[in-house]
Structure 1
């Protein structure tokens, strides 16, 4: 029996080669996209699961509100990691980290810049599962000036030899002995360190001061420990350590209740390690994380595209019903039952589904490199995983059932007497079902188009928004400290070139990933014990040419100037800072104050530092547009630091790169030359959104293509059903244009109905996405109209092909039997 069914299926496929190929193409493409997205989702959901005790590892997050600013960050006080295992019985071990940027690393002569460097506490290998290639985890990070390095770093500096016991030189001054070499951290880890330095050698890590939050802290709980109990004990640690520290600084009369009633807050809580990659977007993250919202969105896209492909199969199967109708009639007349016919058609569907999965795997192999490039991932097909093949077979069965169940019912329902007379009508309501399926297809396509247009509109808004500084044609030269006392000469020689307008030294730049520092200030004469007088400020140390180089706008007062010796104690505030200080009268010339000295000495024993306001700069964005503009003060420093940034006027940036590099090589031979452009650094803040937009655009094109295959099928079916009607109309003088309009208007209505359903859903979804941005576009009507018109134009193009073909057919061919 199966042999007969198989032969019939092959004959049916061969008889309608074009329709069958369209069926396979649409189904295979939908399945391939589903496979790619599934690989992507499994990868994102696997982050940090390689750690043996992943479910018992937590990170402490800080929630601090102070001086008008809010800080949701991963950094905690330095002494917390040591205190937790001693004071909280549930904690088995704890480790803290301190990142201080990149380091210049060398074995003997030439430096290599290493970015993935971190200081870590001695229990790093106890908390995290990082397999060693050489060395021993016990005591690996116990001693000052020791470190563990990744295998790729060991291969770089010590090819074909053991690295343990050898020494590397950091920043031309510090010798670090290698105690262990560990396997390269897997891609699906939320941090990737190539050099882990022992925090025992970092003076800041030994601090006992509980008010300075600079150390990301992780802990390993004992088996069966309750995280909620640890959370509660963290609150107790605030009372035990943080409150007394605040009392030391603010005076013995300090009250936490009063502190919180003034709108301030200090809180520490646990964050599961396995939640970090998808649920965390805190300040100070080691690397940009993904977002669980995108997981849901991609999963929905995979399901919808697969459904669209299955709907196409249904519509194409019913569209070619006339070619199978007489076969059904003859089979029923010869005694075949409805179940036999359904089994015949389902088997054909399963075979086509299985073949489509094979084709889909080939399409996946072809498309995966492009998806990896778009998404910045390194996904691979798990050829060696038997579960992968089991999933494919199960998927083929499920898709075959999903795509074949309705056509099987539809075809098996033909009445033999009617179909043998040429009446192709099936069951009542079948037209409504097909129309509903087309509405569903195009509703999904419209949602994807609106989402894609919205994402790119927001990115375009970001690129064109007035930022308060000029990001274009600014080159940033990194690691100025490598020039030593020749840094100023380096800057002076470059600005003398006609290619360059002006240059500045500063590590503080208005893009993420550069330096940040904040502490409380208050207006002169105000009592710092009154918390409402305190203003939390970003403190940016710059040189005298900073404002000019970045094109910032002074709206009150003046810029720094070497002609004013008193500017060594001057400060420029942004508009937010001025508002937060609530100064009376003209702010220019007024002074602000902060603590100077060791804060553990107590407020009464601390000196005060004063700065005089000489200017107010227009607010400028210095973080992502997802954030509000916080208070910033800029003050001058004569010590070169961080980056050397140059504003250039050359049309060809290569000329500027060559100029800067040649000066660098002449002054600092053997030191690596690294540069970037400010606009590129700004764009880096939105790489994730840009990638999501590109992926959305790609999937949208594919979804529309598959949906158009379905529309092609339904147009073909309608034209086939109305073949005699069209013949009569043509015989009575109807024009080709009139018939095309007649066949197209029904489907135009379906697309418009799809838009009515899709628009509110798309508006809600994108409104939720845009909530992440403090500065965002409005979802105007033009986005929705553009999306609707785009779908209509594509649909008309697809319908037009079939409609014109049907309208130009010879009416004699359709009416000769009448």
Structure 2
């Protein structure tokens, strides 16, 4: 019996090849797209879950508020880890990681630039699951100047993973012994380092200061239920260990500090929440956001719904043509259960074929999707364990739902009624199908509006006046390698043709370098009027090189020795300080551990620079204070030349002349800026691609329904043509029903999209407002697409020979 059902189903599919192809292709595209998004979301949600103890690992974060200034840190004070183990028995272990920044590692005669270097405690391997290939995990990071490297790094430097006992030279002055080789840190980790140097190699790690934070600190609890208990214990812990230092440095106790409205607090974040729920100062890597995971999940659901609704709509529309078949079968003795089984078999067969095709399409598109999303997704044996059951479930559910109409509705009719033609046919009789069309195009229009808003916001980010000019600025990042010759290098570069100016500092708006300090408005040193701004060391060429504008006062000048006691502040700092005339006003900065006038340095405000964005445009511009001081963190060079390769060769030659053994490390400021918004850019691109796919799938369905509607009205069209109706009139008659449905979709989707996209824009401190034309363009686009799709079938039906349709019966 089942064999007969399948043979009959195949025969029916062959008989309607075009209709079957449209149905299968639409569902396959939807399922393939949904599968790609699900892989992306699963990857985002899997971060740090490779750790066997992930459910018990927490990172300690720090929140600081001083007066009206507040900041959140992913780092804590040096002695915290050991103190937590000693004070609380439910803390099983704790470990620290400190990003070492860019380093040079000797390979033969070359110094390789390595940006994934960190200091780590020996307990690192007891907390995190980082399998050791060679070496003893318990003792690998105990001794000073010992280093554990990843398997790929071992192959890179030694062409072998059996390298325990060999040495690596860091920055031409530190020889480290390789004491272990671990498997590469999984990509789904919030930190990805290739070198872990023993923390004992870093003298500051032994610091006993409780008012300075520099270390990412993780605790392993004996049970995750202790997390709230530990958080509740933090205030007493801070008061116990930082109270004396706070009294000495701020002249107040911990309790007095909090009583004045300021605070200094610790809190926990689960390890598995870091990637998607934490974007604060001191992160060890670039994290994602929960918001974009929700957006992609929503798109996946939308596209799957469009594809499934599309499939069901076409299936139910076509099924009415089989009413007479049902009548004949029942007259010949077919039981209703057999008819139900036949229709469900046909429907499930089509969905299974579409699902197999979807899997093949997803495999083919995966490399393109990886390039678009910046991922390295793969369908492997592990992922197949949940992908195949999921696809099978979708195939069965969609197949049964889409086949349920003909199976249960048509099979219930009396044969005599069906054979007499009493079963309603035609598009106007399909209220459910009309609802489906409205549903599909509502989602499509929503996605069109969303795409336009995201594109406009990204374009706004790219073109907004940031308060500095990021174009044609070359950033040489490792100038500190030149030591005392750094200034000579700067001068050599400035003299090159095509170089407009150059400034030497690591503090540029697009870099990760940040530094804060406490400044006081007046000699009372009242923390309520204190400021906790970014404090950057720059030279006199900083403002002109980055094309920043002075709003009041003047820039630094090397010709004025007293400028070393001066500062340039931004407009946000000037507003915060509240001076009527900020230029020539005096502010105070703590220069030691004692916060009194004897340990304060006075700075005179020389000028006010117009605000510039150094954080993400998700955040407002905060106060910045620039001081005149040497900083060899980098060299920013403004260039103006049509022959950039020649200029780069000249800069490289000047570098090699001063230090031939170290590679120059550079980037361009506009590229660094774009990198900071890569998540938004990729989101916009993916959104655009998936919107296009959603529209294509919806149009496939509309195309099939238009063909069905024209087929149902073949005789009517023939009679109208015989009576003199024009092609245009018939085309309009066939199209108007669909255009009305698209119009209803526009009315439904536009306000919903406007509201939800405004919610998304609120995440940006600087954003566009959604203009009326965006809704008009989306509506017009949807109408044009629908008209073109429907008109093809309508015109085809309108120009057909009426004789052929009228002699049908």
Q: TM-score by structure 1 length?
A: 0.95
Aligned with residue 527 of structure 1, among 511, 524, 528: 524
8 A Cα contact 2:472 2:669, kept in partner: yes
Aligned with residue 773 of structure 2, among 763, 782, 798: 782
**What CA distance in whole angstroms lies between the structure 2 residues aligned with 1:689 and 1:222?**
39
**What CA distance in whole angstroms lies between the structure 2 residues aligned with 1:411 and 1:38?**
36
8 A Cα contact 1:93 1:127, kept in partner: yes
Structure 1 residues 688 and 236, CA gap change in structure 2 (3 angstroms): same
**What CA distance in whole angstroms lies between the structure 1 residues aligned with 2:586 and 2:224?**
56
Instruction: Indicate the larger mover: 443-452 or 665-674.
Output: 665-674
Q: Which position in structure 2 is the counterpart of 1:32?
A: 32
**What CA distance in whole angstroms lies between the structure 2 residues aligned with 1:186 and 1:345?**
48
**What CA distance in whole angstroms lies between the structure 2 residues aligned with 1:541 and 1:796?**
62
Give the CA deviation at 1:418: 4.8
The answer for unaligned runs of 5 or more in structure 2 is: none
The answer for unaligned runs of 5 or more in structure 1 is: none
8 A Cα contact 2:96 2:215, kept in partner: yes
Q: Which position in structure 2 is the counterpart of 1:451?
A: 450
Q: Which position in structure 1 is the counterpart of 2:788?
A: 797
**What CA distance in whole angstroms lies between the structure 2 residues aligned with 1:523 and 1:200?**
40
The within-5 A match list for 1:168-183 is 168-183=168-183
Question: In structure 2, the residue corresponding to 1:147 is in which secondary structure?
Answer: strand
Post-superposition CA distance 1:689-713 (Å, at most 9, x none): 1111111111111111000011112
Q: Which position in structure 2 is the counterpart of 1:590?
A: 585
Q: Which position in structure 2 is the counterpart of 1:401?
A: 400
Give the CA deviation at 1:413: 5.1
Question: In structure 2, the residue corresponding to 1:60 is in which secondary structure?
Answer: strand
Give the CA deviation at 1:287: 1.5
8 A Cα contact 2:75 2:282, kept in partner: yes
1:726 is the counterpart of 2:717? yes
1:114 is the counterpart of 2:120? no
1:702 is the counterpart of 2:701? no
What count of residue pairs does the alignment treat as equivalent? Answer: 808
Give the CA deviation at 1:451: 1.5
8 A Cα contact 1:68 1:580, kept in partner: no
Q: Which position in structure 1 is the counterpart of 2:42?
A: 42
**What CA distance in whole angstroms lies between the structure 1 residues aligned with 2:411 and 2:39?**
38
Give the CA deviation at 1:640: 4.8
**Root mean square deviation of aligned Cα:** 2.1
Question: In structure 1, the residue corresponding to 2:388 is in which secondary structure?
Answer: helix
Q: Which position in structure 2 is the counterpart of 1:215?
A: 215
Structure 1 residues 271 and 226, CA gap change in structure 2 (3 angstroms): same
**What CA distance in whole angstroms lies between the structure 1 residues aligned with 2:214 and 2:774?**
44
8 A Cα contact 1:475 1:677, kept in partner: yes
Instruction: Indicate the larger mover: 154-163 or 144-153.
Output: 154-163
Q: Which position in structure 2 is the counterpart of 1:274?
A: 272
Q: Which position in structure 2 is the counterpart of 1:570?
A: 566
**What CA distance in whole angstroms lies between the structure 2 residues aligned with 1:242 and 1:207?**
13
Give the CA deviation at 1:816: 3.5
Give the CA deviation at 1:322: 6.0
**What CA distance in whole angstroms lies between the structure 1 residues aligned with 2:757 and 2:646?**
43
Q: Which position in structure 2 is the counterpart of 1:198?
A: 198
1:90 is the counterpart of 2:90? yes
**What CA distance in whole angstroms lies between the structure 1 residues aligned with 2:412 and 2:556?**
87
The within-5 A match list for 1:124-273 is 124-160=124-160, 162-223=162-223, 225-251=225-251, 253-254=252-253, 256-257=255-256, 259-260=257-258, 262-273=260-271
Give the CA deviation at 1:538: 1.0
Structure 1 residues 649 and 335, CA gap change in structure 2 (3 angstroms): same
Give the CA deviation at 1:147: 1.6
Structure 1 residues 53 and 86, CA gap change in structure 2 (3 angstroms): same
Q: Which position in structure 2 is the counterpart of 1:761?
A: 752
Instruction: Indicate the larger mover: 677-686 or 385-394.
Output: 385-394
Instruction: Indicate the larger mover: 391-400 or 281-290.
Output: 391-400
1:686 is the counterpart of 2:685? no
Aligned with residue 621 of structure 2, among 619, 623, 629: 629
8 A Cα contact 2:504 2:634, kept in partner: yes
8 A Cα contact 1:527 1:533, kept in partner: no
Q: Which position in structure 1 is the counterpart of 2:463?
A: 464
**What CA distance in whole angstroms lies between the structure 1 residues aligned with 2:377 and 2:595?**
56
**What CA distance in whole angstroms lies between the structure 2 residues aligned with 1:112 and 1:36?**
37
Post-superposition CA distance 1:17-71 (Å, at most 9, x none): 1111111111111111122222222222221111111100001111222243321
8 A Cα contact 1:739 1:807, kept in partner: yes
Give the CA deviation at 1:631: 0.7
8 A Cα contact 2:520 2:527, kept in partner: no
Question: In structure 2, the residue corresponding to 1:111 is in which secondary structure?
Answer: strand
Aligned with residue 609 of structure 2, among 600, 603, 617: 617
**What CA distance in whole angstroms lies between the structure 2 residues aligned with 1:790 and 1:453?**
12
Structure 1 residues 263 and 745, CA gap change in structure 2 (3 angstroms): farther
8 A Cα contact 2:242 2:254, kept in partner: no
Aligned with residue 576 of structure 2, among 542, 562, 580: 580
Structure 1 residues 777 and 133, CA gap change in structure 2 (3 angstroms): same
1:554 is the counterpart of 2:550? yes
Q: Which position in structure 2 is the counterpart of 1:420?
A: 419
Give the CA deviation at 1:254: 4.3
8 A Cα contact 1:318 1:411, kept in partner: no
Structure 1 residues 506 and 321, CA gap change in structure 2 (3 angstroms): same
**What CA distance in whole angstroms lies between the structure 2 residues aligned with 1:415 and 1:797?**
40
Q: Which position in structure 1 is the counterpart of 2:637?
A: 646
8 A Cα contact 2:154 2:160, kept in partner: no
Question: In structure 1, the residue corresponding to 2:282 is in which secondary structure?
Answer: coil
Give the CA deviation at 1:426: 5.3
1:79 is the counterpart of 2:79? yes
Post-superposition CA distance 1:131-180 (Å, at most 9, x none): 00111111222222222111111111111363212221111111212211
Structure 1 residues 751 and 653, CA gap change in structure 2 (3 angstroms): farther
Post-superposition CA distance 1:450-492 (Å, at most 9, x none): 2211111111111111100001110111100122322222222
Aligned with residue 301 of structure 1, among 271, 278, 299: 299
1:658 is the counterpart of 2:649? yes
Question: In structure 2, the residue corresponding to 1:518 is in which secondary structure?
Answer: coil
Structure 1 residues 636 and 100, CA gap change in structure 2 (3 angstroms): farther
8 A Cα contact 1:413 1:427, kept in partner: no
